[in-house]
Amino acid sequence: MTLERDDTADARSMDPTVTDGDRPVDSAKRGRHRAVGPRPSQRQMTAAALVALVVLAGVVATAPVAAGLAVGSSASPVAAGPAAPVAVEAPGPVAPADRPEIDGGFSRPTYTGVAGDPIEVRYTASNSDGPTYLLIGGNRLSDTGQPVGFVDVVKVSNTSDLTINTRTLGTDATNVESCGLDTTSCDLKFVDEDGNLVAENLSALPSATGAGGLARPLVPQRYRLAITNGTFVVDNSGVVTPTASADQADLVLEKPKFSEEIAVSTSIDPAALEKNTDNQSLDSLRNNGLDRTAVTKGNRVVLGFEATGIWGALSHFAAERDAGPIEAGQEVDPRVLTDLLTANEGVSLRVRETNPGRNEPRSTLDLSRADVDDIRLLIADANELETPDTPGRFYLVVDTSDGGPFTQDPEPGDKFTVEFALEGTEGKRYTFADDSAPPAAFNASSTTDNAVSQQFPYWGTDDGTVRAEATFTVRERFLRYDHVTDDGEILVEADNGRVTGTTSLLPVREMTATFVNDAGGAPFRTESPLKIADGNFTADLDLNDTNLGTRLNYELYEGSTLRDSRPVVVVSDADNPDELAIDDAPDNVTVTEGGNLSALRAVARNAGGLTGEGELTLSVDNGSLGGSWGVRLAPDESRTYDFASVTADLDPGQYPFTLRLDGDTHGGTLVVERDPATTTIDDEGDGSADNGTNTGDGGADNGTDADGGSDGGDSEPNSTAPNGSDSDGDSNGTEIGDDGGSDETSDGDAPGDDEPDSVGMLPLPFGTREAFGGTVLVGAIHLLGHWV
C-alpha cells in the first residue's frame, strides 16, 4: 500500500515559493541547475559569503538541499512540521563534460507519509544521455541547526512514480535501486570544494557523510528529495549537495499512530454459505456475522487492529513470500503477519485463555501452526480509514473449530484475552546491530545501553509500550425455544402460529422448519424458513383453523441435514397452555339453614391445548365453609361440579363465597334462610311455641331429640369432613355432565348403573402435570453434537 498526500500547510511553511496541488514539470520555470566552476577566492570566504554566492549563481534555490549525518550520530528526532529553510554552502565544482543536463520535476512540493510505511513519489525525469538519480537526504532545520541524516542515492528511470518503503530505505533490504547496493550499477562522482574527486560510489565516501550506514531507521522527520545527474559536492563538514538538480521537494514522515481499541465480532464458517456466494471479503464476514464477543463454537472470531508504521515491514515480508502487494480490501498470506511478529520489530500479538481448568494447559493462539483454512489476514477497505490512501487497519479471522490454530481446542465456556502492542522502553531506541554499509534491515542491536531488542523502530526515547486489549468467549451451538412443555413439546398459539426462540447460530445458507399434521380429515404439510436475526429466530406457521390440542410433527433442516425433530402442540396461550378456567357459576345461591350446597354449581373448562390438572376450591365467608374438587380436563373439555357435600352450617344471613381454579376466580353471595320446620324453645319456658319461635318451658322444637335433649344452644352443628365429605366418610358431591343435569340426588344416594360415575373428590397433589402453574419451562435441544 502506498501513500501520496499533499500537505499544503507544511509546503508553504517550508518553501514560500511553492504552490498547492500537483505541479507540471516546467524546466524553464523551475530552472536547470548547472555546475559552476570554483573561483580561487571562494576557499577563503566565510560560510555566509559562500551562501550568497551560491544563491546568486543559481546553484541552490530558496529550498534547502540535502545534508549529511555522520554514522552513529543521533540527531534528535523532531516532529514533522513547518521549518524555515536554511541555505547550505555549496561550492560549485566544474561538472564533468560527460554529465548532461537533466529535465524533470516532482508532482508535489511535499510528500507526507508515516515513518515505517510505504510512500509513493510521483515525478518526471528526462536524461537521454545518461541515468537519472534521486537524492534522498536531509537538510538543516532551524530549530536544531543540525543536519539530518543523508540517506541514499537511488537510480530511477523516466517513469512517473516510485514507491519507497521507508522501513527498508537505506538498508540491505531496500525495495528501490539504491546505489549503496552492490547489485545496482551507478555512475556517481563526489568531489570536494576544489573539484577534486573524492569517491565514485557511496561505499567509498568518508563516514562523515553518513553514507556509510544509518544510525537507525528513518525517524519521523523532514527530508529533501532532489532529481540529479549523479554529481555531488562534499564540503568540509560532510554535507553532500547535488551540483545540479532538475527539481527539489520535501518528504515529511510523521510519527506512527496506534489505536487502543480492538474490534471483536463473529462470523460463520464460509463453507456454510452457498457455493457461488462471496465468502472472502470483509463485507461477507459482516453480512453473515454479528458484532458480539460471544463466539459460537465452530464459527470465526474476527479481530480488528489499527496501527501505522508497521506496513513497510509487512510489505517487505509479503514481497519475500511473493504474496503480492499489500492493498486495501485485499487478503494477505497470514504467514506475513507471523514473519512480522517473529522479527525484532517490537510488534506483539497474543491471544490466550484466561480460565483454564485445574491442571489443564492454557490454550493460546499459535499462528505458526495455522493454515489458510484456520487463519485469514484481511486489509481494511479504503473507505474505513480516515486516510484512505494509507494502510492502517487489518483483520485477523480465526477458526474456533477443533484442530484449528489453538494449542488446545476451544470449548464452550472458555474465555480469551487479546493483546496487541507496540513495544517500547523509555530511554531506549531501536538501532541496527552493525555498522555495515548498508545495514541489515531486521537485525536490531541488543548489546548497547542505548538499544534493546523488541523495540518498535519509530518510538523515540520518551516513548514506552502502547497496547490494546479485548476479550471474547466461546459458546455452545444451540437453539432454545421460548415455549415448551416439560416434555420438550413446542407450544404454538393458534392465533399467530409462530415458533420463536433464541440461538447462538448465525445467518446460514438455509434452515427450514417443516410442520406435518396427519390427524383429522384434512391433513396438511407446510414449510417455513427459520429466520435468524440478532440471536433470535422465528418460524411462521399457517395452522388452517387447527383445533386446540392438535399435535403436529416438527422437523428442522439445515440444508438437507436434519437438526431437530419434536412434536408441536397448538394452544390458545403459550404462556398458560393448560389453562383451566371457570366457564360458568352462579352469582347468588340460596339454601336452607343446615342444608347442603348442591345448588352451587361451577362449569370448569380447559381453555388451553394440553391436558390440565388443577383444584377447584370453594371458600365461604373467609373460610368458615369450604370444599374442593380435583379437576383433570383434556383440551377444550368442560365439566360441571357442585358442592352438595358441603353443609350450610351457618346462621341465617348472607355470606360471600369465592370459587378458584388455576388462577381464575369467581365471586358471589350465599344466602342462608331459616328452616321453616324448626321451632326454637327459649329458656323461660312460657309454653308458647311457633315455627321458629320459643314454645315455653318444657317445649321442644322439631329439631330436638325425643327425650327432650339439649336445646338449640347446646346442639353441635353437623361437621363437614375434609374435601366436603360427611363425617361418615361418604362423599355427597355430584359431578355434573356437560348438560348441567345432576348425576346424583341431593340426599346422597348413589347414581344408578345407567348414570356416569362421578370423579369424586380427588386427593391433591395430582401427580406430574404437563405444565406447572401456567409457567412455561425453557427447553433446549441437542444440536450439532453438543448439549445445552
**Residues 288-307 pLDDT 10s:** 888 999 999 999 999 999 99
pLDDT at 647 over 60: yes
- CB of 255 closer than 8 Å to CB of 79: yes
**Beta pairing class for 612-620 and 653-661:** antiparallel
- CB of 230 closer than 8 Å to CB of 85: no
pLDDT at 718 over 50: no
Helix and strand counts by DSSP (H, E) for the chain: 6, 41
Identity of the residue numbered 722: P
**Beta pairing class for 612-620 and 580-584:** unpaired
pLDDT at 671 over 70: yes
Mean pLDDT value across residues 655-684 = 86
Question: Could you give the count of Cα atoms lying within 13 Å of 653 in the half-sphere of its Cβ?
Answer: 8
pLDDT at 71 over 70: no
Instruction: Find, among 409, 415, 477, the residue nearest to 788 by Cα.
Output: 477
Distance in angstroms (rounded) separating the CA atoms of residues 301 and 472: 8
- Name the pLDDT band for 747 (thresholds 50, 70, 90): very low
pLDDT at 271 over 60: yes
- CB of 736 closer than 8 Å to CB of 601: yes
Q: Exposed/middle/buried for 297, CB within 10 Å: 0-12, 13-18, 19+?
A: buried
Distance in angstroms (rounded) separating the CA atoms of residues 539 and 483: 13
pLDDT at 364 over 70: yes
The answer to which of 277-291, 323-337, 456-470 has the lowest mean pLDDT is 277-291
Instruction: Find, among 622, 580, 585, 583, the residue nearest to 600 by Cα.
Output: 585
Mean pLDDT value across residues 98-109 = 82
Please tell me the predicted confidence (pLDDT) of residue 107: 93
Instruction: Work out the mean pLDDT of the chain and round it to a whole number.
Output: 73
The more confident residue out of 592 and 282 is: 592
pLDDT in tens, 168-197: 998 889 999 998 888 999 988 988 888 899
pLDDT at 599 over 60: yes
Question: Which set of grid coordinates corresponds to residue 389?
Answer: 490512501
Please tell me the predicted confidence (pLDDT) of residue 325: 85
Please tell me the predicted confidence (pLDDT) of residue 119: 93
Distance in angstroms (rounded) separating the CA atoms of residues 727 and 724: 9
Mean pLDDT value across residues 138-153 = 56
pLDDT at 758 over 80: no
- Name the pLDDT band for 154 (thresholds 50, 70, 90): very high
Mean pLDDT value across residues 468-475 = 97
Distance in angstroms (rounded) separating the CA atoms of residues 374 and 372: 6
DSSP 384: G
Q: Which residues contact 667 (CB under 8 A, 6 or more apart)?
A: 656, 657, 658, 659
pLDDT at 735 over 50: no
Which residue(s) pair with 597 in the sheet?
643
- CB of 126 closer than 8 Å to CB of 47: no
Which residue(s) pair with 493 in the sheet?
571
Question: Which set of grid coordinates corresponds to residue 784?
Answer: 450439532
Distance in angstroms (rounded) separating the CA atoms of residues 335 and 670: 88
Over its C-alpha atoms, the chain yields an Rg (Å, rounded) of: 48
The answer to which of 33-42, 248-257, 435-444 has the lowest mean pLDDT is 33-42
pLDDT at 95 over 90: no
pLDDT at 759 over 60: no
Q: Exposed/middle/buried for 449, CB within 10 Å: 0-12, 13-18, 19+?
A: exposed
pLDDT at 229 over 60: yes
- Name the pLDDT band for 498 (thresholds 50, 70, 90): very high
End-to-end CA distance of the chain: 46
DSSP code string of 462-507: T---EEEEEEEEEE---EEEEEE-TT-PEEEETTT-EEEEEESPPP
pTM of the model as a whole: 0.66
Mean pLDDT value across residues 543-548 = 78
- Name the pLDDT band for 50 (thresholds 50, 70, 90): very low
Residue 100's SS3 state is coil
Instruction: Find, among 256, 367, 350, the residue nearest to 312 by Cα.
Output: 256
Distance in angstroms (rounded) separating the CA atoms of residues 35 and 96: 9
Please tell me the predicted confidence (pLDDT) of residue 567: 93
Identity of the residue numbered 771: A
Question: Which set of grid coordinates corresponds to residue 562?
Answer: 436434519
Please tell me the predicted confidence (pLDDT) of residue 25: 40
pLDDT at 700 over 60: no
Distance of CA 430 to the CA centre of its chain: 36
Please tell me the predicted confidence (pLDDT) of residue 385: 62
The more confident residue out of 752 and 426 is: 426
Q: Exposed/middle/buried for 405, CB within 10 Å: 0-12, 13-18, 19+?
A: buried
Q: Residue for cell digits 481446542? A: 409
Please tell me the predicted confidence (pLDDT) of residue 134: 92
How many other CB atoms are there within 10 angstroms of residue 460's CB atom? Answer: 16
Mean pLDDT value across residues 709-713 = 40
Mean pLDDT value across residues 154-173 = 88
Mean pLDDT value across residues 73-86 = 34
